[in-house]
């Protein structure tokens, strides 16, 4: 059996993953800005760098990230964040993290996270993230899920088909497994409803050696490419549709449910708060406007 590679030996792999996540961010942001131009808007992303802190003080060699944010005519609020951080988990939090050792709870993490809330309620909101983490183990996680206030079967089928194709290229068992995981994860128990129409979610896709890293990194790149291919098509399909006050109200109520999930159940929100992430970047997933009615 191949022994797990020590954490210190994943430095180059982490750097490669970071470069990929940054390049994906740049292409996604360019695609979204192009849609704004088509709608007659000059909205652009603004980029705010941040450094990891603990108790308000910078963490030496703790890393950081860049928050990308745009508010436009089509994208009412969209954040595309990339971060690369490292350091030490608290002993209590380490017990909740795959492979973390409470006696030596060091970690590194790099990833991209995206949430888009749309101006037109016919255009689905969306979430996507992919990440690479190392503790005593190394693994990839991520996925994408569609969150339409007004669902369309055509959009749902196309979104799922894109991710199924990405999964099937690597393992035909991935899509049914990761779709079911998304259905289970993106659920609001206290409301007894799903957050949206699903997608895929995967975590702890472990890399016991460099061959495992290359295979899982290739899959994670294909997940990002699938998102970049399918979501702009869905936006263009719906962004010019007229909508009523009742449909806008439906969107705002749905956004309240979305906010509840992210604040109460989302693991990424907790990870960012527990590791000294930038608060604005962590909470960029919250909608610009919502109601509870």
Instruction: Give the residue numbers annotated as catalytic, written as ranges.
Output: 127
* Contact residues for 283 (Cβ-Cβ < 8 A; gap 6+): 269
Pick the closest to residue 90 from 71, 114, 107, 73 (CA basis). Answer: 107
Distance CA 123, CA 127 (A): 13
What does the alpha-carbon distance between residue 186 and residue 145 come to, in Å, rounded to a whole number? 9
Q: At what angle do helices 174-185 and 153-168 cross, to 10 degrees?
A: 130
- End-to-end CA separation in angstroms for the chain: 56
Residue 60's Cβ-count burial label (10 Å; 0-12, 13-18, 19+) is exposed
Please state whether 192 falls in left (phi above 0), alpha (psi between -120 and 50) or beta: left
């Amino acid at each position: 059996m191949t022994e797990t590679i020590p954490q210190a030996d994943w430095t180059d792999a982490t750097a490669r993953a970071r470069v990929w996540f940054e390049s994906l961010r740049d292409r996604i942001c360019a695609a979204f800005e192009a849609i704004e131009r088509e709608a007659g808007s000059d909205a652009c992303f603004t980029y705010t760098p941040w450094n990891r802190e603990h108790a308000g003080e910078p963490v030496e060699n703790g890393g950081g990230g860049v928050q990308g944010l745009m508010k436009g005519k089509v994208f009412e609020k969209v954040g595309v964040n990339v971060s690369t951080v490292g350091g030490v988990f608290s002993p209590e939090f380490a017990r909740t993290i795959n492979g973390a050792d409470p006696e030596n709870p060091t970690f590194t993490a790099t990833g991209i996270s995206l949430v888009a809330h749309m101006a037109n309620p016919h255009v689905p909101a969306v979430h996507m993230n992919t990440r690479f983490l190392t503790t005593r183990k190394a693994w990839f996680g991520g996925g994408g899920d569609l969150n339409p206030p007004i669902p369309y079967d055509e959009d749902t089928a196309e979104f799922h088909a894109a991710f199924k194709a990405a999964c099937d290229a690597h393992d035909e068992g991935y899509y049914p497994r990761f779709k079911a995981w998304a259905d289970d994860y993106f659920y609001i128990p206290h409301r007894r409803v799903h957050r949206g129409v699903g997608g895929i979610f995967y975590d702890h896709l472990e890399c016991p050696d460099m061959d495992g890293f290359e295979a899982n990194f290739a899959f994670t790149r294909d997940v990002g490419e699938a998102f970049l291919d399918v979501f702009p098509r869905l936006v263009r399909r719906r962004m010019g549709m007229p909508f009523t006050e009742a449909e806008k109200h439906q969107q705002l109520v749905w956004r309240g449910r979305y906010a509840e999930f992210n604040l109460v159940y989302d693991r990424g929100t907790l990870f960012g708060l527990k590791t000294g992430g930038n608060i604005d970047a962590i909470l960029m997933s919250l909608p610009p406007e919502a109601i509870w009615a």
